[in-house]
Amino acid sequence: MFKSVCKKIAYLLIATGAMILFMGVTVVRADVIKGETSLCGASYVIDNFYKNADEIIIEDEDAFVSTLLSNDLSLPDNAAFAKVDSFLNIRKDATTDSEIIGYLPKNGICYVVSDPQYGFVKITSGDVEGYVATEYLYRGIAAKAKIDEIAPIQATVNSGAVNLRCTPSMNSKDNIVDTLYKGMSVNVSKTNQIVLGDDKSEWVTVIYNDSPCYILKKYVTVGRNLVYGCTVEDVVGDIGVKNVTALRASIITEAKKHLGLKYVWSGKSLTKGADCSGFCCAVFSKCGFDLESTAGRSSSSQAASLSGRKVKYEDAKPGDLVYYSLKSGRVSHVAIYLGGGKIIHESSNAGGVVISDIDCMKVTMIKNFLD
């Protein structure tokens, strides 16, 4: 009796398989989906059991094409994002007095590797491993809710140029919407991420000018543009200075973005141009510190201000301000100290914003306004 039942089940399975193979189904070449891992349904079985077949039989094409991108781009459960405006300090130990060894930029991703202790968690990000304050992280459900806002899935062109089309077909030029060039990116649609064209080629569904369009998958790299942590040396250089705070790091990073900015008398714009003190005020303001209200607009008023404190050269930190004077002794120039004997400043009509040695002119004083 038992053997008879088993035989009937076996015959039923064979008959079912034959029906699937010879019904009106879609045939897709094995090399079309090489390297992809689908998540469910018939395509999952095919991926696992027919990888070496010359042809692959797929009954439910929609199940095959809709989830090809999802598996590799999902967010791990221990992933978190920095909830700050500039940089989050990464410390050597789980205390606020511990040495700063790196930074996690705004919306930077990290991976939590320990349970919270004293308000800190241990994380890894990029080449940095250390502790960050838990209150400044999006974690768990909050991180998963933010991922598409912080780092949406994008298709980035990896060839010279590729056409963007309104239908997934190369049979006509009439469906060409635009041409994208190497390095250009466009957001991937949240639904129907991959579709198959008439010739079974794979197309990525993207959103362009608020409308769905299609781009050949083989000409793009699909992924999230994630930002990772960096060491102190990555930001301020190997200058032997410890405990450079996130604010100081953001000031240095912001200032370096504007190398070459033209000199404009009385200007304080990071796009149209600035003079020396205007450049310092604009950079500090961009990083959340109102230098002008704290110490004044001009270099001379800042130097004379009761705000801030004078520091010796050997105690100067990146982000401190260096003041220079004419032969008369009147302060006439200011620069941002980078550390390692270097400054960044709005130099002149000829050079604009440049990096120079700190002793390029006569130093009158160095002031710390930040801590």
Please tell me whether residues 131 and 26 are part of one structural domain: no
Distance of CA 37 to the CA centre of its chain: 26
φ, ψ for residue 232, nearest 5 deg = -60, -40
Boundaries of domain holding 269: 241-368
Please tell me whether residues 248 and 357 are part of one structural domain: yes
Q: Is residue 363 part of a domain?
A: yes
Please tell me whether residues 160 and 275 are part of one structural domain: no
Name the nearest CA neighbour of 231 among 121, 86, 105, 134: 105
Please tell me whether residues 194 and 247 are part of one structural domain: no
Question: CATH number of the domain that 284 lies in?
Answer: 3.90.1720.10
Q: The whole model's pTM is what?
A: 0.65
Question: CATH number of the domain that 105 lies in?
Answer: 2.30.30.40
Please tell me whether residues 132 and 159 are part of one structural domain: no
Q: Is residue 362 part of a domain?
A: yes
Question: How would you write the pLDDT of the chain (371 residues) with one tens digit per residue?
Answer: 444 444 444 444 444 444 443 343 333 333 232 333 333 333 333 344 333 333 334 444 444 444 455 545 678 999 999 999 889 999 999 999 999 999 999 999 999 999 888 899 999 999 999 999 999 999 999 999 999 899 988 999 998 899 999 999 998 899 999 999 999 999 999 876 788 887 788 999 999 999 999 999 999 998 888 999 999 888 877 666 677 899 999 999 999 999 999 999 999 999 999 999 999 999 999 999 999 999 999 999 999 999 999 999 999 999 999 999 977 788 999 999 998 899 999 988 778 999 999 998 999 999 999 98
CB 327 within 8 A of CB 256: no
CB 347 within 8 A of CB 354: yes
Q: Which two tokens stand for residue 85?
A: 């405006």
CB 34 within 8 A of CB 217: no
